A and B are shown apart, each in its own frame.
Chain A
Amino acid sequence: MLLISLLFIASFSKEAIQTVLNTQDTVELKLVEVYVAPLEKYSFGQTLQKIDSRDLNDFQGQTLADLLQQRSGLFLRQYGPGMLASLTLRGTSAGHNAVFWNGIPINSPSLGQADFSILPVGGFDEATIHYGSSGALYGTDAIGGAIHLNNKNTFNKGHQTRVASTLGSFGRWNQLVEYGYSNGLFSSRSRVYRNTSKNNFKFKNLARAGSPEESQSNAAIQQIGAMQDLAWNIRANQQISTSIWWNKTDRQIQPVMGSNDRDRQEDRNFRAVLDYFRFTSSTIWNIKTGVVLDELQFNNSLNKTSQFLISSDIDWTISEKLKSKSGLRLNHVIGNLSTYEAKEDRLELYQSINYLSSPSLSFSVNLRQMLFNGDFAPFTPSIGTEWTFFKNEKNKFSAHSSISKSYKIPTLNDRFWVPGGNPDLKSEESISAEIGLNHVFENNDFMISNQINLYSMWVDNWIIWLPRGSFWSPENIREVRNQGLEYFTTATRSFGEYRFEFNGSYNYTLATILNNLSENDRSQGNQLPYTPKHKAQGNLRFTYKSNSAFVNGHWIGERYINTDNISSVAPYGLLDFGLSKSLTIISKVKATVGFQVNNITNNDYQILRLRAMPGRNYLININLTL
């Protein structure tokens, strides 16, 4: 047990100096946790941001999309509340980010992206954002970055029960029940949840003469799911853990204003992962197997994909200064789509090295090669470094930098969709460079950290579907340059039992189209559609004893609706407010009660053009643990 713990801390130690965004989390590590191989370990030179666990609590049962939109600097293209939501990281497209659940990739192999609206908060215990191109570390799709969702299980906790309920406007009712039992050798946790919303909010229908106020119809959501985590310490140096997650989301698809579509979509997702870890004094050997089954039924059209994964790697602490991870991953993909069937094998070999030349200077080198369907994906190397160039009792300044190559193999739909799929597509490729500066000031009751990242990325062979006669077909046709700035700040100030905290971020994103598709195309030099240049977000939290209050705001700049950059959707800002109080009801029963008002100013806004969004709305959270 002790051995596991030591390695655990050693493997996380880089983050302590890497970024202040997650310095605090390392402190939380307990000796009794189930080991989770940190996918992000070999990432010196890039930024990871762990979502605050209180944010996860505030958003219990809501979508991960809502959480990221309101509490991070990332922009999500949301087609309505609870509707399809795709992430754009550093100005890339929806499929240009990799999403992992407990270390296995869960982007749909047919669509090449994840729908962040069917990943409910409560379906995982922690979420981490990896900013920036990281294909060498994670494989396909990680052009703009990656999102990691992990379960965090513990030993030695005895019986634990949690009941979380959320009631809110527009018929929202989210309910979660969890029971866990663990001793020193075995840990089990079961969870079931049900999240529903009628989504019958009022909005101004801009598509009708006079823009009358109407109630949204055909937008109801019902989601149910179950999760099971198990872990065994089978020997002093061996551990097995598994997580199984089944989730079903049945949605009426909110029609765009001015249309009377009555579409219905049901997503059924099954994910299972089994990890075996064997620890020695200097190595951690991991065998991971995973299954990801996705079914998407849109009206009467059923699309199914299956992924069967097995990977194995050895994480080797060669010396104090040198660490290495070597591994391979095999992914067998089966697609049974409404218009085609396809199968393929994806084999990846990867090697990562951390070199800590001194306590203040560290390097990561990552290499990865994927073979899919007998073809080589682009070879992806990356190198990153982190340098703490000034440090005293109160201040720490550090700089980081990285250069990386990433790729996205064409999706199954891109290659095989009937009609129009193009089997000759090449992988999309990117080259990215970034630099960053980080300052932390800390004394007894005050801490402030500031971090700024500047990046520049070039993406080529970008796949676009173009109309070809009576159908559409994809081509490797676009070239894009993404440049931007990310700024993060955190400050905390304590006065005795009072505590103020502020977290904020600002993203400036230029996603510039470099080429015209044809002689009469006028998109060169323009910003990619639905990619805001500006997004700012801030959260101020006040805590007194067991009471807390927060104000959260985010502001999103203008989004062009087309590559011509003529029409755009107006900028908008939303303010949310919340209160919560923890109390002990009877000796062992603890309760947290929260109340939130979202969109306090009742702003009429759209994220995407003509997709109605709700005005002021209310939530009540009740969380019981025993």
Chain B
Amino acid sequence: MKNLRLLGYLLALSLFIYSCEGSGEERPLGEYEKGLLIINEGNFSSRDGDISHYNFNTGEVQQNIFEKVNNRPFAGVIQNLVEDGDYFYIVSNTGKVEIVNKVNFQSLGSVGGNIDDEDPELIQPRSAIVVDNKIYIADYGPFNASFANPDSFIAIVNSPLGGEVAKKAKTSSRPESFHQINNDLLIACSAARTIDVMRIGVDTVGRSIEVTGTPVRFLEDGGKLYLFTRNSSTVFFHEINKSNYSISNTTEINISRPTSKLTLGENGEAYVITSTGWPDYNDAVAKISITSGQVIDASLYEGNGFYGLGFDYFDKNIYVAENNGFQGSGTAVVINQSGTKVKTIPTGVGPSGFIFKR
């Protein structure tokens, strides 16, 4: 047994030496460097969020790759999977961020998740960004008695590999996502309906810009920076002036009951999930044009339990995540540009998004 372990160690060492000696191009491909990563949010009660990997060449699917690689469950509800440098930041809205090696998903560090803490570092993190070797984590903060989040904050960690939260900076209610521009961080806050501006290094919110609709996230398309917001009958694309961050132009597209699930396509087009709500709860994928402000097809594809969207620039297919009512695992339905189902890929529990590594 001991010998086997020694052998394994030597083998690993030799690989390490090999990869150090070889040039960048010759380095063997990490297991998850290419392919499709599927974010599975997981059930809130069982905290079974994890990532699935789909191999485009072989069609092979691996479920729960975090658990598989690290021999422990991820143990959270995945809100976001943020890629930065060599790392993925897996953001769990149950109060932690785990940092893994981007190509093999080996755990490298974490922020929060300490059950001992009477005063937890993270409460409900939503997204993260790395700037100047520091992690900025957008956190809703605690709910108050009326389920509002008046004490939202940005948690700042002084190492890209995690550790203790060094500072918490107050933001407007419910920060959802970041965009780095100039020497500033723009923060989309959904409850406050603002863009908060934080000067990097100063690390406090200097000002808030009010917007129409509920902010979801920032988008870059055709050299322009947009903030995507929505209400029950409209999606808004607020074009942001890149020097003073004012809203220079807004594209409004009237579409019934859009959700926050949107993905950019090509040529200024985007896809968004709509849901009829009570009593039928029929979901659809709508194709819209940000450029023309028109709905191209209000129901490119229809179904139930749509929970995430992705666009594959390689073959122009659209990936629709179906959550199967959170009763067991979900499915990624791949449709082509005419809305025809091309294939399905089994996912984990509550699939909510895709990252394409072609």
Contact = CB atoms under 8 A, between A and B. Distances in A.
A10 to B, nearest CB: 49
B145 A260 contact: no
Interface stretch (B103-111, B196-204, B309-317): B103-111
Interface string B4-48: 000000000000000000000000000000000000000100111
Contacts of B304: 518
Interface in A211-263: 211, 214-217, 255-261
A216 B323 CA distance: 33
Contact of B322 (A208, A257, A520, A567): A520
A217 B114 CA distance: 10
B189 interface: no
Given A517-B327, A520-B330, A300 B145 contact: yes
B98 A209 contact: yes
Contact of A561 (B48, B74, B109, B278): B48
Interface stretch (B89-97, B148-156, B211-219, B288-296): B89-97
A517 B324 CA distance: 8
B48 A256 contact: no
Contact of B47 (A216, A466, A523, A610): A610
Interface string A294-306: 0000001000000
B72 interface: yes
A131 B90 CA distance: 46
Contacts of B76: 207, 258-259
Contacts of B114: 205, 208, 214, 260
Nearest to A521: B324
A506 to B, nearest CB: 28
Interface in B128-163: 145, 162
Interface residues of B, number: 54
Contacts of B67: 567
Given A258-B94, A260-B95, A217 B327 contact: no
Contacts of B48: 561-562, 567, 609
A260 B123 contact: yes
B258 interface: no
A202 to B, nearest CB: 11
A468 interface: yes
Given A209-B110, A520-B331, A561-B46, A258 B115 contact: yes
Given A260-B123, A517-B327, A566-B63, A206 B109 contact: no
Contacts, number: 143
Q: Please tell me the size bucket of the interface on A.
A: 35 or more
B209 to A, nearest CB: 27
A311 to B, nearest CB: 37
Interface in A245-293: 255-261
In this complex, the member of B145, B324, B349 whose beta carbon has the largest number of chain A beta carbons within 10 angstroms is B324
Given A256-B75, A258-B92, A610-B75, A522 B329 contact: yes
A258 B75 contact: yes
A564 B74 CA distance: 18
Given A206-B75, A209-B108, A209-B109, A259 B327 contact: no
Interface string A178-218: 00000000000000000000000000011111010011110
Contacts of B92: 258
A464 interface: yes
Contact of A609 (B73, B113, B120): B73
A206 B113 CA distance: 10
26 contacts: A207-B74, A207-B75, A207-B113, A209-B107, A209-B108, A214-B116, A258-B95, A259-B115, A260-B114, A260-B117, A464-B327, A466-B327, A469-B275, A469-B277, A520-B322, A522-B329, A562-B48, A562-B327, A563-B327, A564-B328, A564-B329, A566-B329, A566-B348, A567-B73, A609-B46, A610-B73
The list of the 7 closest CB pairs from A to B, nearest first, reads A207-B75, A563-B328, A564-B328, A260-B120, A258-B75, A520-B331, A564-B329
